[in-house]
Structure 1
């Protein structure tokens, strides 16, 4: 689980450095895909080694999680949430908000958390968002910044989603009105029932012989009886029809 999360974050950091940061710094120069790949590899190596040093220095996983939340929530969450809701600001606005979040969480951890024991990440995120709003409305900004209105593509996506929801509601309404037909379609096939019976038989016998089942009495008998019933269900139905 830890490695799955680690390689995801390493991949994200490599893409951010190789694609976003370097491309922003070198606006006029064209960066080839091979160069971006080399930068991503170096970033993965450097960030991975630094993460290993941090992990060896602090062996408490819960403390590391608190550190990550203390860095991520006050700095990243507020700009990310505002961007989702359609706010487009400048780099200066984002840096002001992030700096406010960092100063707030450092101040909170130094003077308030030691006495109250309350984590101030959420309050630092609010301070970050309020600082961004204040910087946007108090300082002079370009005309293309602020709350972006939905464009034609977004309106088309909204209309498509509304059409799909209407079709889904209509399908559910028709299925409810024709309940008998809907329920008859849910009956599993004979092959599915026999396959489940074979699976439960093999799994219970393996659990018995490997010693996973400590109670060798009624539970195993019940499971095998249920498996035999599932395997014999198609033959029983054919016998009833005849």
Structure 2
């Protein structure tokens, strides 16, 4: 398990709560791209929606790929290709005909089942160690890799700081921010992220214990996927079935939410802004509904070849590049908008271009020096600073009484 995950859960929900408490004027919007469009205009709105759809598409593909590989290890007689195709078909049917209400209700049960599995798995692995809890902790404390210095990366303070900051800003994406738009009030937003942080921290503590017990149980010469094969070989058939069921539930609980949000962004934020204004006003709710269903099918068609690709292509190439571009391009304008910054569309577009160039510059020059790709926060900071510089240095357009960018409207 990554050393930042336990601390990252607290940082993620603290960041979302801090940002959500300041979104009272945007809470009745439908999506995060709509907020960008209301502040900066249609072009930043479309850019935000496109990057969000691309990022969510490859994340769904990665989830299906990992789930298929995990189930194929538990049940060796099943072909991963069949699992991938069946999971994709199940996701399409469930997402289209289930609706957001069904998704919310089933996600609650899936969370309960998944949390119960973590506790059962921790108990099972603990029994396999054949040692007491005190002996296991003492054994781990004697290992150098579990030392405090290794945990906090004292030898690479700058890299550790960049990783912590990247963890905090990576959560500012439509999938997480949609919880703010779905809330009925700001006070509910605060409660949602508070409860989610407590439950998430408890789950991560249990996952950490599972990793600790596995480290004490599994032979030291095993590594990587061989550890997973060793665990499955010593797992009862009933527990294997529970693991497969929970892997499917865990994939569906997040993939269907991403599919719903992507369908909304395509039918509500991207396609209508490609039409003339007069035609856009005549679009009915039935049109958005049909386009949302077609968008789900389109996304899943793109997902299948990605899910069938190798893990290196899916994870290291597509997912990482989409995440590197999304945060530097979108997050800085969004945070500035939440805190009341108002500027013409050209300011946001110039800042987005600066963030994109910063990503490629980091990859070409900084990566060779630090050896880390966690440069999303500095690149995002470049975007924000360029936007502020353009806003205050370039001449501003003349304001009218109807303009939302006039000083009186900003004060209100």
1:179-190 correspondence runs (5 A): none
Q: CA–CA distance in 1 between the matches of 2:254 and 2:326? A: 15
- The correspondence for 1:48, drawn from 288, 293, 300, is 300
Alpha carbons 2:328, 2:356 under 8 Å: kept: yes
Q: CA–CA distance in 1 between the matches of 2:259 and 2:265? A: 10
State the structure with more CA Rg.
Answer: 1
1:3-27: CA deviations, max 9, x gaps? Answer: 3222222222221221123333332
User: For structure 2, which runs of at least 5 residues remain unmatched after alignment?
Assistant: 1-249
Number of the residue aligned with 2:278: 28
**SS of match in other structure, 2:286:** helix
Higher RCO, 1 or 2 (CA under 8 Å, sep at least 6)?
A: 2
Alpha carbons 2:342, 2:410 under 8 Å: kept: no
> If the length of structure 2 is used for normalisation, what is the TM-score?
0.33
Shift of 1:78: 0.6
Question: Taking structure 1 as reference, are residues 62 and 54 closer, same or farther at Cα in structure 2, changes over 3 Å only?
Answer: closer
Q: CA–CA distance in 1 between the matches of 2:296 and 2:394? A: 38
Number of the residue aligned with 2:253: 4
Q: CA–CA distance in 2 between the matches of 1:100 and 1:112? A: 16
Q: CA–CA distance in 1 between the matches of 2:396 and 2:271? A: 25
Question: Taking structure 1 as reference, are residues 52 and 131 closer, same or farther at Cα in structure 2, changes over 3 Å only?
Answer: farther
Number of the residue aligned with 1:13: 262
> If the length of structure 1 is used for normalisation, what is the TM-score?
0.54
Question: Taking structure 1 as reference, are residues 149 and 76 closer, same or farther at Cα in structure 2, changes over 3 Å only?
Answer: same
Alpha carbons 2:347, 2:390 under 8 Å: kept: yes
Question: Taking structure 1 as reference, are residues 140 and 76 closer, same or farther at Cα in structure 2, changes over 3 Å only?
Answer: same
Question: Taking structure 1 as reference, are residues 89 and 108 closer, same or farther at Cα in structure 2, changes over 3 Å only?
Answer: same
User: For structure 1, which runs of at least 5 residues remain unmatched after alignment?
Assistant: 152-242
1:123-162 correspondence runs (5 A): 123-142=378-397, 143=399, 144-145=404-405, 149=410, 151=412
Q: CA–CA distance in 1 between the matches of 2:304 and 2:411? A: 44
Alpha carbons 2:332, 2:380 under 8 Å: kept: yes
Number of the residue aligned with 1:120: 375
- The correspondence for 1:72, drawn from 319, 326, 333, is 326
Q: CA–CA distance in 1 between the matches of 2:304 and 2:392? A: 42
Shift of 1:127: 0.8
- How many correspondences in the alignment? 151
Alpha carbons 2:328, 2:380 under 8 Å: kept: yes
Number of the residue aligned with 1:89: 343
Q: CA–CA distance in 2 between the matches of 1:22 and 1:90? A: 22
Alpha carbons 1:89, 1:146 under 8 Å: kept: no
**SS of match in other structure, 1:87:** coil
Alpha carbons 1:78, 1:125 under 8 Å: kept: yes
Q: CA–CA distance in 1 between the matches of 2:304 and 2:382? A: 32
Establish whether residue 105 from structure 1 lines up as the match of residue 367 from structure 2: no
Q: CA–CA distance in 1 between the matches of 2:410 and 2:257? A: 33
Q: CA–CA distance in 2 between the matches of 1:55 and 1:34? A: 32
